[in-house]
Structure 1
Amino acid sequence: MPISDLVPGSTLGAPIPPDRADRASFWRQTLAEFDASKVSVRAFCHQRGFHEKRFYT
Structure 2
Amino acid sequence: MALLTTRELAAELSVSVRTVQRWVDRGWVVPDVTLPSGHYRFGLDNVKAQLREHQQRDE
Please say whether Structure 1 and Structure 2 have the same fold, judged by a TM-score greater than 0.5. Answer: no
User: Which TM-score tier does this pair reach, normalised by the shorter chain?
Assistant: 0.3 to 0.5
TM-score, normalising length from structure 2?
A: 0.32
The answer to which structure has the higher strand fraction is: 2
The answer to which structure has the higher helix fraction is: 1
